[in-house]
């Protein structure tokens, strides 16, 4: 068997799932899970090494189509196949999943309660998340999307905080309930027309009626709006982050939220481009609402976890604006923002967990003055906060700048509309450093809490924690200084997607700069897609 014939994606999906089955049989005489965590870490490293090997030996940057394709008949009577593949949208997120999950396993080193079950769930979630980004059959996509929710629910409900059952129940109700829209959309698209198929590529080639496209797009948007999340379907996220442990935080912020953005591009944009033209203005508005509302709400949060959670919601608003920009630069910025936020969000939430382990509080008023006792944690927290507020030289700055420029140069919207959107989004960008810098001041240089400083053992960061943050900061800074490291992976794909989107809107042409009215202009051509001209 040659490297080309090797089933790379199937292997990296099932390796952690099969490996977790052996966990109950690993001897643990001390009962603290030490051999189990080493086993999980080795599995994570091996799987990540396989992902990187497949990327460097088999992936072609210039090819916008599916690569590493595998297809096996599963239930041929209904045309159901195990079909996987990777392209410019999914490959960066598969790499991100392997990287963040491996670091999350290392971050879970202090976990001693039910270590067998904990690492079993983390490894099962590892394979499930890669499957979400790789499967090319819409019904199988729904199945892995649902199965991936079970480990998250258990990780929240067993190892969470005081309100863990409430947070876990709210998470499963929101995400599992909204997932039903995916199943309905998959069945509707599969049985539309003369042929029955769940293959995503074949579904994208079908000629749907406009009304049908709009209904399916709306249903899928609800499902992915919950996971992204989009205001007002976001309320599960602060509760989940408020109760999760540090490694679960990393998985939620680093990977789970990206599933919504990925699916929005893969299905809504790529498979339903005509309907996307109708919904694009709404996505822009929702993106602006996400940015400003979540940033303002973050100001009011006195709980450190909830403050960072709302910051995540704000940053994901840029993904929506980039997806709806109708420019290659804007869409490229949206993909880069997902990768960038995965790295930055994971680093911040890990540091929140490290700080809580020492102070035993998440309330900002109870933390003050710990900077002198924990200088390494302060330095790392500051560096990651700078990345989150889009400091030039870090990945967040490049991603947000690409979205700004991409949207402002778009000819799909009037000049007036573009100016308003860019101005409001810039307000959100300005708010971010204010609440993040004030957060740092209150935690590390605020009024000293003498009871905390005197009675708590405020040890500084240990080598394991420094290593985890260093691993996250290297790509954050690397992408900020040389974005092509990531953008070259998906440039050909985003360009092809943009061409497909624009081809579905024949009336999408440049207009005079003097035409600034924000009123929909409906094309008289078959697509009949409104654009803000």
pLDDT tens digits for 205-217?
A: 888 889 999 999 9
Bridge pairing between strands 530-532 and 80-86: unpaired
pLDDT value of position 265: 94
The H-or-E segment that residue 69 falls in is strand 67-75
Cis geometry, peptide bond prior to residue 74 (ω within 30 degrees of 0): no
Residue numbers of the chain with a pLDDT score lower than 70: 1-2, 29-31, 78-79, 451-457, 506-533
Between the two ends of the chain, the Cα-to-Cα distance in Å is 55
The rounded distance, in Å, linking the Cα atoms of 118 and 111 is 8
Alpha-carbon gap, residue 60 to 71, rounded angstroms? 20
| Whether the Cβ atoms of residue 82 and residue 137 lie closer than 8 Å to each other | yes
Complete DSSP assignment for 471-516: HHHHHHHHHHH-THHHHHHHHHHHHHHHHHHHHT-TT-----TT--
Task: Give CA–CA dist 226/237, Å, rounded.
Answer: 9
Alpha-helix residue ranges (DSSP H) falling in 228-272: 236-243, 246-251, 257-263, 270-271
Which single residue is written with the structure tokens 């985890």? 468
For residues 246 and 112, give the distance between their C-alpha atoms in angstroms, rounded to a whole number: 14
| pLDDT computed for residue 283 by the predictor | 95
The count of residues in the chain is 533
- Token couple for 351: 């540091």
Candidates 82, 90, 80, 79; CA nearest to 54 is 90
Q: How far out from the chain centre does Cα 438 lie?
A: 26
Distance, in Å, from the CA atom of 384 to the CA atom of 361, rounded to the nearest integer, reads: 20
Distance CA 391, CA 479 (A): 12
Integer-rounded Cα radius of gyration of the chain = 23
Could you tell me if residue 31 is left (phi over 0), alpha (psi between -120 and 50 degrees) or otherwise beta?
left
Q: What is the pLDDT of residue 161?
A: 83
Plot region of 357 (φ>0 → left; ψ -120 to 50 → alpha; else → beta) = alpha
Q: Can you give the pLDDT at residue 289?
A: 95
* Residue 457 confidence (pLDDT): 67
For the whole model, what pTM was predicted? Answer: 0.92
C-alpha 26/C-alpha 36 separation (Å) is 7
β-bridge pairing 67-75 and 80-86: antiparallel
Rounded distance, CA 68 to CA 267, Å?
20
Omega of the bond leading into 215 within 30 degrees of 0 (cis): no
What tokens were used for 330?
Answer: 């804007």
DSSP code at position 114: S
For residue 236, the Cα-to-chain-centroid distance in whole angstroms is: 15
The answer to whether residues 51 and 95 touch, using CB atoms and an 8 Å cutoff, is yes
- 224 and 189 Cβ atoms separated by less than 8 Å: no
Q: What sign does the CA torsion over 275, 278, 281, 283 have?
A: negative
* Partners of residue 199 on adjacent β-strands: 137
């Amino acid at each position: 068997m040659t490297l080309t014939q090797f089933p790379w994606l199937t292997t990296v999906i099932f390796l952690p799932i099969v490996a977790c089955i052996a966990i109950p049989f690993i001897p643990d005489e001390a009962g603290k899970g030490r051999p189990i965590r080493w086993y999980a870490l080795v599995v994570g490293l091996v799987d990540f090494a396989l992902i990187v090997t497949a990327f460097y030996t088999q992936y072609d940057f210039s090819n916008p189509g599916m690569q590493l394709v595998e297809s096996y008949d599963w239930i041929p009577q209904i045309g159901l196949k195990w079909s996987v593949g990777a392209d410019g949208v999914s490959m960066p997120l598969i790499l991100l999943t392997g990287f963040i999950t491996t670091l999350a396993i290392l971050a879970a080193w202090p976990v001693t309660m039910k270590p067998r079950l904990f690492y079993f769930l983390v490894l099962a979630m590892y394979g499930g998340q890669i499957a979400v980004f790789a499967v090319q059959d819409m019904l199988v996509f729904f199945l892995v999307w649902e199965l991936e929710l079970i480990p998250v629910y258990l990780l929240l409900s067993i190892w969470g905080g005081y309100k863990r059952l409430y947070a876990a129940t709210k998470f499963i109700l929101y995400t599992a309930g909204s997932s039903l829209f995916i199943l309905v959309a998959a069945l509707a698209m599969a049985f539309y027309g003369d042929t029955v198929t769940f293959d995503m590529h074949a579904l994208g080639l079908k000629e749907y009626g406009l009304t049908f496209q709009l209904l399916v797009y709306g249903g899928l948007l609800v499902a992915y709006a919950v996971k992204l999340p989009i205001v007002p379907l976001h309320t599960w996220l602060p509760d989940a982050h408020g109760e999760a442990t540090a490694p679960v935080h990393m998985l939620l912020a680093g990977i789970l939220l990206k599933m919504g953005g990925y699916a929005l591009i893969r299905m809504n944009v790529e498979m339903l481009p005509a309907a996307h033209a109708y919904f694009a203005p709404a996505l822009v508005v929702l993106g602006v609402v996400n940015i400003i509302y979540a940033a303002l709400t973050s100001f009011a949060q006195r709980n450190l976890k909830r403050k960072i959670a709302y910051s995540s919601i704000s940053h994901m608003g840029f993904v929506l604006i980039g997806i709806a920009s109708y420019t290659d630069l804007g869409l490229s910025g949206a993909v880069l923002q997902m990768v960038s936020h995965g790295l930055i969000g994971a680093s911040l939430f890990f540091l929140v967990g490290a700080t809580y382990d020492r102070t035993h509080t998440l309330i900002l008023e109870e933390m003050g003055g710990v900077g002198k006792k924990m200088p390494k944690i302060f330095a790392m927290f500051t560096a990651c906060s700078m990345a989150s507020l889009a400091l030039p030289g870090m990945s967040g700055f490049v991603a947000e700048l690409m979205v700004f420029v991409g949207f402002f140069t778009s000819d799909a919207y009037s000049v007036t509309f573009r100016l308003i959107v860019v101005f409001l989004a810039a307000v959100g960008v300005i708010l971010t450093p204010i609440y993040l810098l004030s957060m740092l001041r209150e935690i590390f240089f605020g009024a000293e809490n003498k009871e905390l400083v005197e009675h708590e053992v405020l040890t500084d960061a240990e080598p394991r924690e420094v290593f985890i943050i260093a691993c996250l900061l290297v790509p954050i800074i690397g992408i900020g200084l040389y974005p092509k490291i990531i953008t070259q992976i998906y440039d050909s794909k985003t360009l092809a997607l943009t061409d497909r989107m624009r081809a579905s809107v024949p009336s999408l042409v440049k207009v005079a700069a003097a035409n600034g009215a924000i009123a929909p202009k409906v094309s008289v051509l078959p697509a009949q897609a409104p654009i803000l001209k």
